[in-house]
Structure 1
């Protein structure tokens, strides 16, 4: 039997020629081959320093199992490459006469991997930021004819910054990569990315495509400019830039030279990559893409498996990282209590994400991005396979899919004639944990990953020692760690060491003797030969001849413990649904019904709900097929509507960078995972008006949502409602409490606030007159809507003088202020508010927390209501919102308000303020079935919401809540034991840490990962 013992990459010059015995000659041959390859890859325009060697590198890799692509494997095949490209691959491939032949018997050849999310060869952008006491920066400080915002870096081309980096290329090669798409991951528009190989040498030869993709994110990166400082600001900036680029293309003379917009337009022809920070960012990006006719390739974060239906609906190709979360140390119960169930479940389920994408038939690539240690890459791929990803799809996601996604499949991604000679040589199937990656060839250049084990010398040999006799020897173990035994009556363990072509043996010939024959030599084609010393020290000659392969040992089938994963919850926390609930027909019998209509409070009354609407109100109603709920001794009211809330908002409630930010939208940053949705359902809240904060005179556009627990962001939104916007007055907007560095943004006084409004609406009026060819301005579009009563104002306010001022400005521009919120001095101007047509949303008894609220009184709400101002009690606080029924009751105590009027302040009145009282706020036939079944009088401090129903769906049930708490305890215990088991196995763990949820108030300013509060 012929054995192949060639050192990797140094092959026989012909099939019958014996391997060179002299190591010095071998090294010279290797140097010659590498020199030939280097010359072949040299550039024509570069001078030759030394002696020219025009030979081309031609190699033939024979007897290999060649995996040409994920669907095509050929056995006993030959791969031929020349001058860095593949010439042929297959069983019938012809071996050129000048080819250097590498015998790959027993080995596999795969395409090298392609990573399309990398920053290889690029320096890390500096993110020093501004000094803590620096004044705000309103415009870009980038020098040149570029755009106004330095987070838009569309003019950046990675190819111009790229430099071959051997130190960073080596670990990527060792992980199996041959090609990467590299980008400067800095900014919202990041410019273009270059497709390059990981070969060494000059940059000119490794660049496959200079501009292979354009890249985007919601992260403004190293920009020191204030705008944007919230996620909604990033969304608005992206949208505005798309519009500006379109306008610039049609009206270039009006803008002059804008290199950022020029580059933006040029980049639109490329594949468009978008980095998303989480699953909801995926949907935000996709929505922008849909608006502007762009299909993004989306780089995910690793939690997309939690919303696979929504991911599939994007129609995007995904780039999935495999930086699975590490095990958490749960040993200390005091630390363990800080770990949320969602965090524990994510640790368990994240490795199943690639398999979930495969099952959902969503195209995806795999990336090493985000891994702290690139050496974990293949181990994590194998883990993903263990969790449901097939090997075929894994290979496809590392080769063909990324190459096809970048329209580079003619260059890389498979082993076909004409493509770059980028391939891996392995000891076996690629994703087996025992497989060794020996070599990674890139553009025809060999990069050794591991030399040990290339020669599989396992088998039975006859060792002949002269003088001394012959012995039968068996070599077992693994290719990289062989073990030797002398086969006699008593099998005696010996020792074997292999270093390339050098071999040394120690043979114990007698069981009782402590001495052994020591031999060293060289591995040849079919034999080993050398010299040594016997047990007496006498020099001997020896050779070993291969006899046969060792008898195959029956594999002990390791019984795999099936991986048990918990269910996905919607939302992904302990109180989420296993399966989203469906609408039911419901009959609530024999209860006290607070109608908020002229019928008033009805005793012992039934309410029938059909198709999400209130179908009947009366006594002794027939149930039919409806679910029957006994309301005896309980009270039924309309669901509470919070007119002023900041729950379910992601990454900033204030875009505080500019005085006017009417272009930003709360609708763009909804966070359906916020547990406050569930908590407020437990307090009877069924709808919330989510507002921008109070950092600027004209803030962002608001969003009314129904508390549809478990739904995605779009399904939370109330459809077909009159849109609103947040304005603000007082200390916050003039930055009187922001610190010394914030003294340059206009306005800095209450007089300036008025001028901001006058200027903004004057600009909006002028903008409207410009006609159809004007540059579309999202900021002014919203203000024009206000002028035409198509968007309505909710204004943060306290002091009577400012309230009067804004009503005067509104009258001057012929619109009105819909709602003054907070308005703790509303009792002073209630008559003027009524005349203007403004309503009020206020606190029951908050006061004295800053100077402008010193004149607040607890009868404020009652006085405004008596004057005829539509008045609501709102929360501005996630905790208070759970007790708005009690807040409403305070006006009974403080001002003698009637019970029904008090309840209306948190039900029908906010519905009237939000222009949805035709479908919410009272129990009336035809209205939405948003109702709460209370255990007691709804204004009592003892009242609990037994059931909260939204659109005919029981979103909160107190009995079910008790079951959920039990489920949470059981699931936490299961996962805790699993994590403790990981620690016992020696798996590295991370310390448990407290990660608070985002919770916002009007005054919160986003600052990195935390937010500051305006006092």
Structure 2
């Protein structure tokens, strides 16, 4: 027993002191004896990947005091060097992870308050918003975490970039190795990077409550930091802005977590001249062209979705086709990035089990990722992105000795990670087992007893012991590190022989005990050298088959986006919305995205698509002046003014309501901010180009902003706890407008004076909120105002008159009939509901004749939806004005075509059928104001984005593709794949008063 304990102590001592600290002698005093060893090692006969593109066989790696002293063939081995013979083994640089919270303290918990927290409660000379932690330093918070370090090492990592993941601005990250030694020894670069996100994290402060607000806060912080650096520090002391100046000098890493957030972050980077390194969501393949065009490095997670358990048909109904397609295609994400030429690195972030990391890398390789690019993404690329390429990432002379020892090609299934050396210190990987394969002469107390054969795999070795050429037994083997325990019985019930020992080179030896209690010494010397034990490899080299990417990446997407066609509509009843009125048996020719000809018997150009429209009606595409579709959020309701936020920052091009409204004939929508504050956000006017990215939906020339009146603005309907934010009365709402526009006027004058002085004086602080309001004063941005009650509408018109700005449109305007003359005098348009009333006290005096009465006063009147479902029948809403008010059918149709186009100042492009205008057209089966009318074709700029036959084909494709994926999921489950239960995912239908927190991540699967 004493000998056995001595053996165990000796082996453990060898493991614990197998390498030195690479940083040399510590500055800290040590409580105990000093054991400073030379730390000189030679690894011979190995296949060494010195870099992703260079591999040397039968090579030597020389390590001295934690750094690489030499690498190559025929490297002389100095005296007093510990030699490791790594024949049949491979060496790679240890991996680097750029997105980690390793060694960071637990996340802060949001402060709890009984009501809205409007101001920061952070102590110190810091900025106004608690979501900005630019002064945070990961190095000041860092404490090595032995348990986490072991997890990372076992996955192949030697270095991580860690930061405290809290807030929109998160301060600096620290580059550290995974030795789990003192922070001063493992830290390679204390301030290695700057970190950002769209999540406000632990901040209990109200602002921001939306993704639009998060973008605005970050943009304003950047502008404030520039102002502070250029002289603002003389006006105020602000440690947050001071720290932002330091962050600008560092590599900037942005946590985005999905493809749309990635593209959103890139736009911020473009605005401020920053090439962000963006942590994506693993769905980049779904918009690969846009991400390639962004030209940003991407940190790619490998948290592939588990197989969906769809054995229950009801569960199969719950899961969306997009989710199932992502399950199938996510492993090919890295290959798609490589093919597109996008620079990327890998991260273990998001994995439930870090042990899955290496397996998922290999899966990515099977799905088409090259081994060279995979190794780059694990080593040289992350090192280069944070300026550490001269320290880690390759096995070049002078680099820190961070490297892996593997049983073979690291990207092949079955290859095992045996050791991870970090700063010249050896760590046996928990999953690594000794390579015992072979045949051995077995002896006890020096006498030959038989032959031991070891086969099977590293994880599950199989032993056969033949004793005295007559008896064959099957011993049990367990291994912990280098320690082995072998147990066997020579006869049933005859007791067990127990042997303990270790593996060194080609020899097993140790001590043990026979069934009768006799202590013995044993040994087993290898007599042959077979191929190393590995798991079964997939050597087929065949890339797994997957379905196609569709645009957008939802069930109703298409593999190719529609292109502009030459189309001739023949013999239609054409509702021109121009002086020509309604034309019968008329042709319309579309070419190059424009209407090029309107008339009879037009000859079809060669190659044109000719559509027989006999008995059908052709109208301009419908225009919805007030919509909230296609957004990730609708309100930044935390302050009385949020003029700085932009709805374009919250666009969701995959919202199924885009397609549904195309099926109802809508081609253009104004996406408005909600009504939670007096001055809301800047609108996004879009064309419903199903499948295109956010930028291609936008009509940037349409510059609008949402104002609001009424109970939503003063938040009287939000409950007692919400009665904190100013204003709390309708009189206060008026004061908000005066205060903000008076400040905006002064702001505008300060910039005019600065520009007039030829930039000789110090620039004013750029204020995004006041800038938007100054645009209104200059007539460059136009107001759409949520309104109900006559008294408040009169109030805002009076404010506008006195401050000399113009109101473009009153939307809702259910009491517009009471003051139509005043609106007409000021040329203010009205965008109304057809027949909404009695849904709250503010609308108790609404009447269905409102639109007709306003129109009779000469007001440009539109009928809007403000509702995703209503917009699918906007033509029917317009028809109600005929029943309620006797409006002519042409004027009624104008209320959803030309009139909203005029209100949006886009009537030079859309709203009527006229030569030279955009070819935004709808071909209806019936009179366009009939409840029986259905669009046959919906065309935008000459591209067919909806057709009845196309929709039938889409529905068929959905059914077939989902059936295929269900069978594939069932096969994967039967083969033992881990599964997850489907969860119901429903699209959000936004309304004016909806609030959602900025901390909520927006995913699109």
Q: Determine which of 201, 221, 232 is the counterpart of 2:181.
A: 201
1:424 to 1:658, Cα distance in 2 relative to 1, 3 A: same
- C-alpha separation between the residues in 2 aligned to 1:564 and 1:701? 45
- C-alpha separation between the residues in 2 aligned to 1:56 and 1:271? 36
Does the residue aligned with 1:49 lie in a helix, a strand or coil? coil
- Work out whether 1:81 is the aligned partner of 2:79: no
- Work out whether 1:694 is the aligned partner of 2:675: yes
**Structure 2 partner of 1:954:** 944
1:100 to 1:593, Cα distance in 2 relative to 1, 3 A: same
- C-alpha separation between the residues in 2 aligned to 1:463 and 1:29? 22
Does the residue aligned with 1:232 lie in a helix, a strand or coil? helix
- Work out whether 1:334 is the aligned partner of 2:314: yes
**Structure 2 partner of 1:735:** 715
Structure 1 stretch displaced more, 280-289 or 97-106 = 97-106
Q: Determine which of 188, 201, 216 is the counterpart of 1:221.
A: 201
Q: Is the 8 A contact 2:594 2:919 kept in 1?
A: yes
1:63 to 1:867, Cα distance in 2 relative to 1, 3 A: same
1:324 to partner: Cα distance: 1.1
> Number of matched residues?
983
Write the mapping of 1:520-919 to structure 2, written as runs, cut at 5 A. Answer: 520=499, 544-549=524-529, 563-625=544-606, 626-650=608-632, 652-721=633-702, 723-770=703-750, 771-772=753-754, 773-919=763-909
Q: Is the 8 A contact 2:20 2:37 kept in 1?
A: no
Q: Is the 8 A contact 1:816 1:837 kept in 2?
A: no
Q: Determine which of 968, 993, 1003 is the counterpart of 1:1003.
A: 993
1:417 to partner: Cα distance: 1.6
Structure 1 stretch displaced more, 599-608 or 84-93 = 84-93
Alignment root-mean-square deviation, CA: 2.8
Q: Determine which of 88, 99, 104 is the counterpart of 2:81.
A: 99
1:237 to partner: Cα distance: 1.0
Q: Is the 8 A contact 1:36 1:56 kept in 2?
A: no
TM-score, normalization: structure 2? 0.93
1:855 to 1:460, Cα distance in 2 relative to 1, 3 A: same
1:534 to partner: Cα distance: 9.7
Deviations 1:712-731 (A, max 9, x none): 1111012433x111111111
Structure 1 stretch displaced more, 958-967 or 996-1005 = 996-1005
Q: Is the 8 A contact 1:36 1:55 kept in 2?
A: no
1:52 to partner: Cα distance: 3.5
Deviations 1:149-204 (A, max 9, x none): 11111111111111111122111111111110000111111100000111122111
Q: Is the 8 A contact 2:466 2:473 kept in 1?
A: yes
- C-alpha separation between the residues in 1 aligned to 2:701 and 2:545? 44
Q: Is the 8 A contact 1:286 1:296 kept in 2?
A: yes
Structure 1 stretch displaced more, 47-56 or 302-311 = 47-56
Q: Determine which of 144, 148, 160 is the counterpart of 1:164.
A: 144
- C-alpha separation between the residues in 1 aligned to 2:142 and 2:744? 45
1:173 to 1:725, Cα distance in 2 relative to 1, 3 A: same
1:885 to partner: Cα distance: 0.4
1:557 to partner: Cα distance: 7.8
Q: Determine which of 441, 455, 470 is the counterpart of 2:421.
A: 441
Write the mapping of 1:46-57 to structure 2, written as runs, cut at 5 A. Answer: 46-57=28-39
**Structure 2 partner of 1:179:** 159
Q: Determine which of 248, 265, 271 is the counterpart of 1:285.
A: 265
Q: Determine which of 143, 148, 153 is the counterpart of 2:123.
A: 143
**Structure 2 partner of 1:6:** none
1:453 to 1:28, Cα distance in 2 relative to 1, 3 A: closer
1:466 to 1:71, Cα distance in 2 relative to 1, 3 A: same
1:598 to partner: Cα distance: 1.1
- C-alpha separation between the residues in 2 aligned to 1:197 and 1:864? 71
- C-alpha separation between the residues in 2 aligned to 1:409 and 1:197? 14
Deviations 1:443-479 (A, max 9, x none): 122222248643x333334446799977555332234
Q: Is the 8 A contact 1:39 1:53 kept in 2?
A: no
**Structure 2 partner of 1:933:** 923
Q: Is the 8 A contact 1:464 1:544 kept in 2?
A: yes
1:319 to partner: Cα distance: 0.2
Deviations 1:582-615 (A, max 9, x none): 1001100011111111111111111111111111
1:409 to 1:741, Cα distance in 2 relative to 1, 3 A: same
Deviations 1:405-452 (A, max 9, x none): 111011111112211111112222212332222221111222222486
**Structure 2 partner of 1:13:** none
1:439 to 1:137, Cα distance in 2 relative to 1, 3 A: same
**Structure 1 partner of 2:758:** none
- Work out whether 1:964 is the aligned partner of 2:954: yes
**Structure 1 partner of 2:760:** none
- C-alpha separation between the residues in 1 aligned to 2:602 and 2:67? 81
1:829 to 1:155, Cα distance in 2 relative to 1, 3 A: same
1:253 to 1:530, Cα distance in 2 relative to 1, 3 A: closer
Q: Is the 8 A contact 1:517 1:532 kept in 2?
A: no
- Work out whether 1:128 is the aligned partner of 2:110: yes
Q: Is the 8 A contact 1:463 1:545 kept in 2?
A: yes
Q: Is the 8 A contact 2:641 2:677 kept in 1?
A: yes
- C-alpha separation between the residues in 2 aligned to 1:646 and 1:341? 25
Q: Is the 8 A contact 2:282 2:333 kept in 1?
A: yes
Does the residue aligned with 1:895 lie in a helix, a strand or coil? coil
Deviations 1:275-297 (A, max 9, x none): 11311111111111111111000
Does the residue aligned with 1:298 lie in a helix, a strand or coil? strand
Structure 1 stretch displaced more, 458-467 or 328-337 = 458-467
TM-score, normalization: structure 1? 0.92
- C-alpha separation between the residues in 2 aligned to 1:736 and 1:517? 82
**Structure 2 partner of 1:364:** 344
Q: Is the 8 A contact 2:103 2:143 kept in 1?
A: yes
1:863 to 1:475, Cα distance in 2 relative to 1, 3 A: same
Q: Is the 8 A contact 1:36 1:53 kept in 2?
A: no
1:462 to 1:814, Cα distance in 2 relative to 1, 3 A: closer
- Work out whether 1:190 is the aligned partner of 2:170: yes
1:89 to 1:238, Cα distance in 2 relative to 1, 3 A: same
Q: Determine which of 314, 317, 334 is the counterpart of 1:354.
A: 334
1:348 to partner: Cα distance: 1.1
Q: Is the 8 A contact 1:583 1:952 kept in 2?
A: yes
**Structure 2 partner of 1:5:** none
1:842 to partner: Cα distance: 0.1
1:94 to 1:677, Cα distance in 2 relative to 1, 3 A: same
1:517 to partner: Cα distance: 10
1:429 to 1:406, Cα distance in 2 relative to 1, 3 A: same
Q: Is the 8 A contact 1:613 1:927 kept in 2?
A: yes
1:614 to 1:423, Cα distance in 2 relative to 1, 3 A: same
- C-alpha separation between the residues in 2 aligned to 1:602 and 1:40? 86
**Structure 2 partner of 1:982:** 972
Gaps of 5+ in 1: 1-20
- C-alpha separation between the residues in 2 aligned to 1:408 and 1:764? 47
Deviations 1:687-731 (A, max 9, x none): 00111111111111112111111111111012433x111111111
Deviations 1:514-572 (A, max 9, x none): 98995857566665567889999999987654333459999998767752211111001
Q: Is the 8 A contact 2:437 2:532 kept in 1?
A: no
1:498 to 1:627, Cα distance in 2 relative to 1, 3 A: closer
Q: Is the 8 A contact 1:521 1:531 kept in 2?
A: yes
Write the mapping of 1:481-492 to structure 2, written as runs, cut at 5 A. Answer: 481-484=461-464, 486=466, 492=472
Q: Is the 8 A contact 1:83 1:444 kept in 2?
A: yes
Does the residue aligned with 1:977 lie in a helix, a strand or coil? helix
Does the residue aligned with 1:941 lie in a helix, a strand or coil? coil
- Work out whether 1:474 is the aligned partner of 2:453: yes
1:25 to 1:767, Cα distance in 2 relative to 1, 3 A: same
Q: Is the 8 A contact 2:642 2:769 kept in 1?
A: yes
- C-alpha separation between the residues in 2 aligned to 1:584 and 1:932? 15
1:493 to partner: Cα distance: 5.3
1:790 to 1:106, Cα distance in 2 relative to 1, 3 A: same
